[in-house]
Amino acid sequence: MIALSTLPLPGPPKEKEASPTSGVPEDDQAIDLTWGQKISVSWSIMWPPFAVLYFLMTNLISDDLLAYFVHRIPFVFSLIATASTLAGQAVLSFRMVRKNYRSFFIAVAKKGEPLERRLTVSQQVRISFWFLSPQVGLYFVGSALIVAAALAGVHLPAALNSLGIWLRILVLGPFGISCAMNANYRGFRLRAYRCKRKRDPRWSSIRSFRKNAERGDAQIEDDSTFTPE
């Protein structure tokens, strides 16, 4: 007889290791966004308010009223335009975590909990504060420059408006994303993760695509000539 002591005893069940695609985030799974990716994130939030403002200026506001605001009270016009675009961006800041970008996504990471792709009102307010702070700073600097030029009797070139818009899109918007991603929030953090998309190796090149397409055409011809017995 075989001694019972030599028989292997069943051990405790092994815990299943969390895979990289599980809902619980790991620090080594997060990625650092490039400047171009930050531009993509900020632009997804910024373009709708800009588009609405442009539509209002070109279609719903008369030319005489627009000329009066621009030439007579430019400070008030700048205040209204800036405030409306900033408010629109604050409302749409949830797109930061809801949108799936081309190669990455942003999620709310909490310690020991699955990733979340939604923002509470409190979280959205705090994230909007950090995201919009650089643009608010630019507005105050621009306003001080306009007031100083008016007191000195100097006429500022109109090209400064276009320069300010491009500065917001290419510099301040991505910098605001950096501020929002690196801020220390209470109870959560914003993290970026790489999208894991399965790629079919059969369609990984133009040659493979052509070969599979020809194979598919041949299969269609065979099917068309097939006659059941």
- Within 10 angstroms of residue 124's Cβ, the number of other Cβ atoms is 19
Q: Are strands 189-194 and 30-31 parallel, antiparallel or unpaired?
A: antiparallel
92 inside domain: yes
Q: Specify if 125 maps to a domain.
A: yes
pLDDT value at 95 more than 60: yes
Residue 20 lies in a domain: no
Domain assignment of residue 7, yes or no: no
Q: Please tell me the predicted confidence (pLDDT) of residue 18.
A: 38
Domain containing 137 equals: 27-218
Q: Is residue 176 part of a domain?
A: yes
Q: Is residue 211 part of a domain?
A: yes
Query: What band does 142 get if pLDDT is binned at 50, 70 and 90?
Result: confident
Q: Does the residue 186 lie in any domain?
A: yes
Is 9's pLDDT higher than 70? no
Split at pLDDT 50, 70, 90, the class of 15 is: very low
Q: What is the pLDDT of residues 39-72, one digit of tens each?
A: 999 999 999 999 998 888 778 677 776 666 666 6
Q: How many domains does the chain have?
A: 1
| Contact in structure between 93 and 124 (CB atoms under 8 Å) | yes
- Listed residue (33, 49, 51, 48) closest to 177, CA to CA: 33
Q: What's the mean pLDDT in 145-167? A: 80
For the segment 174-224, what is each residue's pLDDT rounded down to a tens digit?
999 999 999 999 999 999 999 875 544 554 445 554 555 565 555 545 544
Residue 78: inside a domain: yes
- CB-based burial, 50-71: b 16+ in 10 Å, e otherwise: beebeeeeeeeeeeeeeeebee
pTM, two decimal places: 0.70
